[in-house]
Structure 1
Amino acid sequence: MTGSSNGPMPCITRNGLVEISRIELLSDPSKEWGNFSRMLRKYNLPQYRGWGDLPRSVLPAMPDAAMLQRVAGVAAFAQRKANEQLDALQMSAMINARGNQIAVDAITGDRHEYRRYY
């Protein structure tokens, strides 16, 4: 998919970019102040040229507690989901290994007792 400039379109909408920027800004204002300052210097946008450097005081002095809690909740949820997926993959691998061994035993006629300790 291409945009009006015939270049590749980003994978995120404008609203998504604004929301991600807001989350990052409220979670770590000092870091984002540096990022915004570097961005303004790098792209040298005409409408901002006369402003000079971005003052630190335009952003919150401290991270927003509610946003930090939201970010921590999302991170905890993502960790739980990742652990669930890992557990499911491990179980699937054990079932597949057992099924493969049963198939080999059925073909060869040999009976072997395999014990795996996990």
Structure 2
Amino acid sequence: MTALPAYITPDQIASHFGINERTVREKAKALGLSRKIGKKVFLLEGDVHQLMEACLECPSSSQKEAGSIITEAPLTVDSYAEVQKRLTKRERNGSRRKSKRRHGNVVSMDRGQI
């Protein structure tokens, strides 16, 4: 009989690194690394290494592009005014709440003493 390959569950990975199990499951599923039999999910030893490599990569596109974030020239008065205009809150054009209408007259039911 052949030996079973080494495996680890997302719960074990999560507790080892101190992260949420759901995060491990979602990341492994997104990468196509998780295996599932019934309701049990597990990863093989090679899958864990691929998961760790994928987590080393920076998902932000800002790190991938080289260059400065400083613009070549300062903003002019006109462009500053345009930016300010764009960022200020605009008044809503929607309809305003209408006050409740009064329905009929209120008649007292008190008959007094007879």
- TM-score normalised per structure 2: 0.26
The structure carrying a bigger helix percent of its residues is: 1
Report the structure number with the largest CA radius of gyration: 2
RCO (CA 8 Å, sep 6+): is it higher in 1 or 2? Answer: 1
* Larger proportion of strand: 2
TM-score (norm 1): 0.25
